[in-house]
């Protein structure tokens, strides 16, 4: 147990105020996820994109009374009844506290590191060992300098085993994580290219990662990774190696569809339910640990054969009756429940929220204590409706609101629950694997076209933070969510941006803004193309029009008839698309002086060639002209409006013209619009479909409409479920377009049809039902666009709205 009074000695901090000593129960680092559970402490972290100190007063108003801060702030003395500790680094303080907490537990702890596979190995070990141990583990991939201490803090007296992964990106990080995890057993997964840029060499990276095992009893690794083997052997630690070479401790041989495992004169054929090399390697790390834990090889075979793929993320899907479904049907533990309910709480597209939850298995807690903890989490998130499934929840229904409903089993729910009750809700479906909650998701999910656009919300946040790093802290951000958020789904993206506190949203038309308002988006919204018939809607939904001509301005002033309104003024500085010209400024100023009911929120213009260096001189001239004209207009206004000029390529290439705000568009979605290709952005969208049918076509046959495809020799043709009605252009016809199937490129054969396309899978190990990538992380949208001489903007925005969007976020 750690009390607030213990913190100064643990963190080398100074107590600024101490009202009442409390036992520390809950560590909070994100003000948006605050919880005033008794014993909660908020750690204010000043980072490159956010400063937690700015939200201390908000948390105080929510009931938080314990704070660890890195600097004193104005008004701190007015926060009565608080415990406040001043430290040099809040992250280092959390690490020190977690390290002290870990030292209280004398249990086996497995520390896992490596370039890839850490999270999968950890989750598979959890599946394999949870029948025998009460396990604490990182939720999701919480393996960073902050994620690891928050994970280790979960250790409780009833736990019998810890499974913690650790990731680093530069030297001197692993020593800190080693002190927190204090692993008794180590697993080194592999060594790849991830974070190479942070180290002098791969060898240095291997040595740094190996520091996690400084005090471990034994280290498990694959001997076939020669650099890891070199570092391991030189460490003089006790090792347990596996590999396909004869000098490994555990020797692996491929035996048809089986793997022959040989260890200490014992042999067993093991079935691994995966064929890709990464999954096989991850599985064999798990086998090695089970051997170390003295499991019988036959029992290991039985357990490995039951492993299933792990969707390491939450998925936000369109449901029936205007509902949205948060699909988290892999597992259910208290740490994962906390993350999932936080994700639910931060979705504001629907006002009504419901949780469908299974029993939590193998928690280690007495039943009644476990249910009380579950009920506390549910109550904290202010859920409107709760559905409990399983004998445990049903038995202890008294701890939940009277509006809750309970079912003994998943089958009972599927049979008896009236889904017509679900109307315009957002529903978290979270269940332990044995409950097979994917059946519930299938029932509640709107039946979707097999082609889907998968949107990675974590990549959106990464890209947002990257662009924030390119601008001054004082510069505001307007994010463009026009054109269905560049094809990515407006309301879901806008909700995420609202959560991350961007300053403005931009849309093309009033109807787009209205849709956002209907989905509880309260951020200021600029409408770029207002029309006279939309003026009433603008006012009714608190939307702010862009005014770019005298015609639209006079019409709007006549409509307002003296009522107050906020507008944005567009100046033409060289794009020659929309905007007031230099010769219009005096007349514009006269109108603004005359109509004091108008507030000008911003003045802006648009760069014509920000993406190419050859236009930099012209861009500079545009910037100088804009600044001069904007100052002229501002001179007659009561308050200076925000100035903004830069779009995504401008933010990347022309930071000197930031002014007061920037407009982030295509860059948020992972597309680098510059010729330099900075390479720091993560692709957000993956368009995928599936193979409907495979046929063998004899030589000499024709394929598709107009007989445009020809089999010069025998071919295997796969028909995939996407066509030009989905946004897969006819320009991809006749070999110009390619798709990715099982890691291999397949060319389009013949003409693209309305709903289907034929591709050549000759020589590709492809089966009906296999996934097909149109573009995404593995197949760049830039490459796809180049094939038909267009730009990524067009590819993204052309993807039809009949292609359902699935939003994914790390979360289990």
CA angle 453, 458, 462 (to 5 degrees): 120
Q: Please report where in the chains the tokens 């003000």 appear, as a residue.
A: 31
Given the residues 350, 482, 537, 804, select the one marked as catalytic. Answer: 482
Given the residues 351, 501, 705, 744, select the one marked as catalytic. Answer: 705
Contact predicate 335/155, CB 8 Å: no
**Would you mind telling me the total number of residues written for the chain in this entry?**
812
Among 178, 147, 151, 175, which Cα is nearest to 163's? 151
3-state SS assignment for residue 648: helix
Could you tell me which residues come within 8 angstroms of residue 73 by beta carbon, excluding any fewer than 6 positions away?
Answer: 53, 56
Contact predicate 261/252, CB 8 Å: yes
The CA distances from residue 184 to 26, 161, 237, 563, in Å, are 26, 10, 12, 71
Q: What are phi and psi of 781, to 5 degrees?
A: -65, -25
Among 689, 751, 757, 690, which Cα is nearest to 717's? 757
d(CA 760, CA 694): 10
Query: What is the Cα gyration radius of the chain?
Result: 29
What sign results for the dihedral spanned by CA atoms 725, 726, 730, 731? Answer: positive
Among 63, 71, 65, which Cα is nearest to 20's? 65
- Residue 676: how many CB atoms within 10 A of its CB? 12
d(CA 179, CA 171): 15
Is 509 assigned a catalytic role? no
d(CA 165, CA 183): 10
Q: Please report where in the chains the tokens 């000759």 appear, as a residue.
A: 762
d(CA 716, CA 51): 57
3-state SS assignment for residue 208: helix
Q: What are phi and psi of 740, to 5 degrees?
A: -110, 125
* Angle in degrees, 0-180, between the axes of helices 510-518 and 490-499, rounded to the nearest 10: 60
Beta-ladder partners of 5? none
The CA distances from residue 581 to 308, 356, 634, 753, in Å, are 63, 58, 16, 46
Ligand-binding site membership of 577 (annotated): yes
Beta strands in 13-55 (DSSP E): 14-17, 26-28, 40-43
Give the CA dihedral 476, 481, 482, 484, nearest 10 degrees: 180
* Angle in degrees, 0-180, between the axes of helices 334-345 and 367-380, rounded to the nearest 10: 20
Q: Please report where in the chains the tokens 């009380």 appear, as a residue.
A: 372
Could you tell me which residues come within 8 angstroms of residue 738 by beta carbon, excluding any fewer than 6 positions away?
Answer: 745, 746, 747, 748, 759, 787
DSSP codes joined into one string, 746-773: EEEES---SS-EEEE-TTS---TT-EEE
Q: Please report where in the chains the tokens 């010209």 appear, as a residue.
A: 581
Structure tokens at 607: 């760069």
State the number of CA atoms in the 13 A half-sphere of 402 facing the CB. Answer: 0
Is 556 assigned a catalytic role? no
308 CB-contact burial (10 Å; exposed 0-12 / middle 13-18 / buried 19+):
exposed
Give the CA dihedral 22, 23, 27, 30, nearest 10 degrees: -20
Q: Indicate left, alpha or beta for 485 from its phi (over 0: left) and psi (-120 to 50: alpha).
A: left
Beta-ladder partners of 83? 66
Which residues are identified as catalytic? 482, 705
Residue ranges of the annotated binding site for substrate are 577, 754
């Amino acid at each position: 147990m750690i009390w607030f009074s213990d913190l100064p000695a643990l963190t080398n901090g100074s107590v600024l105020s101490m009202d009442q000593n409390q036992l520390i129960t809950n560590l909070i680092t994100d003000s948006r996820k605050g919880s005033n559970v008794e014993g909660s402490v908020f750690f204010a972290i000043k980072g490159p994109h956010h400063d937690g100190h700015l939200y201390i007063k908000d948390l105080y108003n929510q009931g938080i009374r314990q704070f660890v801060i890195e600097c004193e702030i104005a008004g701190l003395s007015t926060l009565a009844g608080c415990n406040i500790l001043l430290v040099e680094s809040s992250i280092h303080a959390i690490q020190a506290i977690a390290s002290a907490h870990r030292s209280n537990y004398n249990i086996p702890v497995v520390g896992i590191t490596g370039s890839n596979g850490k999270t999968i190995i950890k989750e598979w070990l959890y599946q394999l060992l949870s029948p025998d141990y009460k396990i604490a583990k990182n939720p999701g991939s919480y393996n960073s300098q902050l994620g690891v201490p928050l994970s280790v803090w979960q250790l409780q007296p009833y736990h019998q085993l810890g499974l913690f992964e650790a990731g680093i990106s530069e030297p001197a990080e692993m020593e800190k994580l080693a002190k927190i995890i204090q692993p008794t057993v180590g697993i080194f997964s592999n060594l790849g290219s991830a974070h190479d840029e942070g180290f002098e060499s791969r060898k240095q990276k291997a040595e740094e990662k190996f520091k996690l095992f400084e005090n471990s009893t034994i280290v498990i690794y694959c001997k076939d990774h020669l650099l890891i083997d070199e570092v391991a052997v030189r460490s003089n630690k006790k090792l347990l190696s596996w590999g396909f070479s004869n000098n490994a401790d555990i020797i692996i041989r491929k035996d048809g569809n089986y793997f022959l495992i040989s260890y200490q004169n014992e042999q067993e054929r093991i079935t691994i339910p995966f064929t890709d090399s990464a999954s096989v390697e991850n599985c064999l790390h798990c086998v090695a640990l089970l051997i170390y834990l003295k499991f019988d090889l036959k029992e290991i075979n039985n357990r490995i054969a039951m492993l299933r793929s792990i969707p390491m993320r939450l998925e936000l899907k369109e449901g029936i009756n205007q509902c949205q479904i948060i699909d988290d049907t892999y597992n259910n533990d208290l740490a994962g429940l906390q993350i999932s309910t936080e994700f639910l709480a931060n979705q504001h597209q629907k006002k009504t929220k419901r949780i469908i939850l299974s029993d939590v298995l193998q928690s280690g807690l007495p039943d009644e204590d476990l249910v009380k903890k579950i009920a506390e989490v549910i109550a904290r998130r202010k859920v409107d409706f709760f559905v409990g499934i399983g004998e445990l929840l049903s038995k202890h229904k008294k701890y939940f609101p009277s509006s809750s409903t309970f079912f003994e089993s998943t089958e009972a729910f599927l049979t008896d629950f009236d889904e017509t009750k679900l109307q315009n809700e957002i529903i978290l479906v979270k269940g332990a694997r044995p409950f097979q909650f994917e059946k519930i998701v299938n029932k509640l999910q709107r039946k979707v076209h097999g082609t889907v656009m998968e949107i990675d919300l974590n990549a959106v946040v990464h890209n947002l933070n990257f662009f924030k790093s390119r601008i001054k802290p004082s510069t505001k951000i307007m994010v463009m969510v026009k054109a269905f958020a560049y094809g990515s789904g407006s309301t879901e993206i806008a909700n995420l941006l609202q959560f991350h506190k961007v300053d403005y949203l931009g849309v093309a038309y009033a109807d787009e803004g209205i849709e956002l308002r209907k989905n509880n988006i309260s951020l200021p919204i600029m409408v770029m193309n207002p029309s006279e018939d939309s003026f009433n809607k603008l006012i009714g939904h608190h939307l702010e029009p862009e005014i770019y001509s005298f015609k639209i301005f006079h019409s709007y002033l006549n409509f307002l008839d003296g009522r107050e309104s906020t507008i944005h003024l567009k100046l033409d500085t060289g794009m020659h698309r929309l905007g007031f010209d230099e010769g219009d400024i005096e007349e514009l100023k006269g109108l603004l002086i005359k109509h004091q009911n108008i507030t000008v929120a911003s003045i802006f213009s648009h760069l014509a060639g920000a993406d190419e260096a050859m236009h930099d001189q012209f861009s500079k001239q545009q910037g100088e002209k804009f600044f001069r004209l904007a100052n002229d207009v501002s001179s007659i206004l009561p308050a200076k409006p925000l100035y903004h000029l830069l779009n995504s390529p401008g933010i990347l290439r022309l930071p000197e013209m930031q002014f007061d705000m920037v407009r982030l568009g295509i860059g948020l979605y992972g597309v680098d619009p510059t010729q330099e290709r900075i390479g720091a952005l993560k692709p957000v969208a993956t368009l995928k479909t599936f193979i409907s049918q495979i046929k063998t076509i004899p030589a000499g046959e024709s394929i598709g409409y107009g007989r445009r495809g020809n089999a010069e020799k025998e071919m295997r043709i796969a028909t995939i479920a996407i066509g030009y009605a989905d946004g897969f252009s006819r320009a991809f016809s006749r070999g110009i377009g390619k798709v990715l199937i099982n890691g291999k490129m397949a060319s389009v054969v013949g003409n693209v049809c309305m709903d289907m396309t034929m591709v050549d899978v000759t020589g590709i190990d492809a089966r009906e039902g296999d996934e097909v990538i149109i573009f995404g992380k593995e197949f760049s949208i830039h490459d796809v666009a180049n094939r038909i001489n267009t730009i990524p903007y067009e590819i993204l925005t052309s993807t039809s709205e009949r292609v359902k969007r699935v939003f994914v976020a790390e979360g289990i």
